[in-house]
Structure 1
Amino acid sequence: MTLKAIELQVALPRTFEAGKMTEQAQQLGQSVNHAASLGMEKKTYKERHTVNRMKGKAPLARSGKDPRYEEGKREGHHPFKGKAIDYSG
């Protein structure tokens, strides 16, 4: 055998092993990506099909109007406007 034949005997199995390792690395990346996408699908499905919970019900007056809206329209009571004040002390 020549020197080249011996070198090829050593080189071929190593390239085969390197090819296996790169293939395994690619499959690992694909499986991680697949698992992440499945998790995201489950999360979005759950968010779509569950009802959002309310913190509390808004109080309504008997007339059906929102009392908080009415409070915003009313002006506050002024401490001395409209009253007669005696400055002659």
Structure 2
Amino acid sequence: MSLKALELQVAIPKTFDAGKLADDHQQNVTQQQVNAHEALKKEIKKKQLQVSDTEKTDKISNNKEQQHNHEENFSEEKKQLKEEKEAEHAKHPFKGNFIDFSG
């Protein structure tokens, strides 16, 4: 396919314009990606520094009271189990059941 001189006079400047438009578009896309990355970094940093959610103080105190009560119940159960083990350990099948006074 051959181009005539008149066609080249029109085609060559349009090629440069098309190249400029393509380059501008590429730079625009790159700049948008950079801006999106910067915004994402700012958002991540903001989320890291900000407190996400706070509990009401009533709920916190109730939770602490429940935890304290649970710990008390657990320690009482532990003491009872320890006493039961000591009581079982103290019982012997024949020691301490018969006292010999004849001796």
Name the TM-score, length of structure 2 as normaliser. 0.52
- Give the partner amino acid of 1:46: K
Deviations 1:29-64 (A, max 9, x none): 111111111110000011112233312132222983
Question: Unaligned stretches of 5+ in structure 2?
Answer: 74-103
Q: In the alignment, is residue 61 of structure 1 matched against residue 65 of structure 2?
A: yes
Between the two proteins, the alignment pairs up a number of residues equal to 65
Computed over aligned residues only, the root mean square deviation of the Cα atoms, in angstroms, reads 2.5
Instruction: Specify the alignment match of 1:74 in structure 2.
Output: none
Could you say which residue in structure 1 is the equivalent of 2:14?
14
Task: Percent identity, please.
Answer: 31
1:38 to 1:63, Cα distance in 2 relative to 1, 3 A: closer
Give the Cα separation in 1 of the matches to 2:66 and 2:36: 51
Rounded Cα–Cα distance in structure 1 between residues aligned with 2:69 and 2:7:
91
For residue 28 of structure 1, what is the amino acid of its counterpart? N
Greater RCO, CA 8 A, separation 6+? 1
Pair member with larger Rg: 2
CA distance, structure 1, for counterparts of residue 67 and residue 5 of structure 2: 98
The structure-2 alpha-carbon separation of the partners of 1:64 and 1:23, relative to structure 1 and needing over 3 Å to count, comes to same
Give the whole-Å Cα distance in 2 for the aligned partners of 1:35 and 1:63: 48
TM-score (norm 1): 0.59
Higher helix share: 2
